[in-house]
Structure 1
């Protein structure tokens, strides 16, 4: 037996269902770092921040934003466009494909870059531009071509940081109109034609060889300088040694002469005798070198007197007290001997 359903019960159930649907549709939970742009009857109403928010169902509607992302499929990039009602305010990276760019020295290179940006004004990002991410990408590509087109290839490799800063500075003003903040722009990779790459490798090898040659030459130069300095210091030390040795010898001879003169007397004749003895001794020491260097030996005219003086000093070495007494006899004998040697030398010379 079917029980009759009253119209009031049906209306109550309908009201409960509508209330539940309104609560479910009107209760919006926004996650951290996300926002939603709400339109009321087609016009901008407000921006929902993170947390629990209440909207009027069927009257308040979220406005979607178009986002362009690239997905790498093998060696190629595939562009994916999507409509998202939840706008992510975190920093986003856009790794766009490599772009052909011509430098000032007419070299075509392919540059792959990455763009880091953040949505700071969701309202502008939705209403000021039709596709915010695509607009940012196109702006980055055109700015990249403009900046790199003013540089030579070598300058491009040396100044990547400068290129990044110029691109970022050129993009900041137009991007700010779209509610976007550019964090940084990075040039990731620079691909060159094969012939240019080969030429650069050869140039690099030649430059390294040149540096090695210069380094080797500088090392040889330093070694030669050090060797010359060592030889110079050695010569100076040897000369100082010879000088000191000569001074000591001279001082020894001077002291010897004083002792002899003290023993035999310091008259003029004795002084001449001592000087003659020293000259004879020096001459006799030089005879072997004279015979070694040449074929003839020249005996001086007064050699007999020198020999006589040397004989006298040999006697002095044995008995200094008797040397003075024998000095006069030795002098006369030396005169006779000199006369005979002069005659013999003349006949020999003849």
Structure 2
């Protein structure tokens, strides 16, 4: 090979290397941090860029997308001295590539470690029973602490989610017994409430029945009293009308004789009945003089009429 060929080859290699070192294509939602002679020069956003060969270099590459970082399991002690194992997930996003490059060595590792220490601190302030009820509150407190700490790193912590809380076997068994006892208690309470309500319903029914019976008896007595009163009233009215007719008949011609005859007939009839029903009789002194008796009765009727 001639020297010219070798030089041409070296020139071609130099050109290829220069192009590789110079041209940079940054993907969408990404950012490259460029250093010039070891010092920060600029941040490349999405698109095509040219660098100075052998002077500029891409020192850091960052994604601007939201990242999910798994936080490993860790042991936490609750306020009532129960040890639980908790793991979760951090969601964060780089908002300043320069700070994310020079503000901290590894923001992902730092955020994960800070999340673990913050979670231990938060869980240590609440009882075991509330760790399950206040997950949202725990998550919010972790996010607030992480976000404040991550601001100098150029990172925004969006949220933190507790993935799982594991309890010791003895605690699980105790909780299961407690839940079983609570369910049994509720069943007993529900049954007793049902029986109580049933008895109340029966007593209310009996009470209403007695009220209905008493009301019916009251109405019956009122109706009977009204009927009797009406009966007495009608009998009195009929008797009065009869007496009026008798009095009117007596005032007519021959009325007195008819009354005397009627009285005599009734006297003889009743006296005959008395003789049939009794073995012993008390005879009036004036038995032989029926006319005198009739006259006396007639006189009494006239007096009553007048």
TM-score (norm 2): 0.75
**Is 2:43 the counterpart of 1:63?**
no
Q: How does 1:83-232 map to 2 (within 5 A)?
A: 86-232=61-207
Q: Distance in 2 between matches of 1:6 and 1:165?
A: 71
Return the offset for 1:182: 0.8
Return the offset for 1:191: 0.9
Q: How does 1:244-283 map to 2 (within 5 A)?
A: 244-265=219-240
Q: Distance in 2 between matches of 1:60 and 1:22?
A: 11
SS at match of 1:106: coil
Task: Using the TM superposition, name which of 245-254 and 16-25 deviates more.
Answer: 16-25
SS at match of 2:187: helix
Return the offset for 1:188: 1.1
Return the offset for 1:61: 1.0
**Is 2:216 the counterpart of 1:241?**
yes
Return the offset for 1:6: 7.9
Note closer, same or farther for the CA distance 1:17–1:98 as it changes in structure 2 (3 Å cut).
closer
Return the offset for 1:227: 2.2
SS at match of 2:31: strand
Task: Using the TM superposition, name which of 141-150 and 127-136 deviates more.
Answer: 127-136
What is the aligned length? Answer: 255
Return the offset for 1:12: 6.1
What is aligned with 1:51? 47
Does the CA-based 8 Å contact 2:100-2:153 persist in structure 1?
A: yes
Q: Distance in 2 between matches of 1:227 and 1:49?
A: 82
Return the offset for 1:262: 2.4
What is aligned with 1:18? 14
SS at match of 1:57: coil
**What runs of 5+ residues in structure 1 fail to find an aligned partner?**
65-85, 267-321, 341-350
Q: Distance in 2 between matches of 1:121 and 1:237?
A: 86
Out of 27, 34, 43, which is 2:30 matched to?
A: 34
Does the CA-based 8 Å contact 2:71-2:115 persist in structure 1?
A: no
Q: How does 1:248-327 map to 2 (within 5 A)?
A: 248-265=223-240
The alignment yields a C-alpha RMSD, in angstroms, of: 3.0
Return the offset for 1:11: 5.7
Note closer, same or farther for the CA distance 1:105–1:326 as it changes in structure 2 (3 Å cut).
farther
Q: Distance in 2 between matches of 1:195 and 1:219?
A: 36
Q: Distance in 1 between matches of 2:193 and 2:210?
A: 25
Q: Distance in 2 between matches of 1:326 and 1:133?
A: 135
SS at match of 1:47: strand
Q: Distance in 1 between matches of 2:266 and 2:129?
A: 102
Instruction: Write out per-residue CA displacement over residues 297-319 of structure 1, whole angstroms, 9 at most, x where no aligned residue.
Output: xxxxxxxxxxxxxxxxxxxxxxx
Does the CA-based 8 Å contact 2:71-2:112 persist in structure 1?
A: yes
TM-score (norm 1): 0.66
Q: Distance in 1 between matches of 2:102 and 2:62?
A: 13
Return the offset for 1:326: 6.7
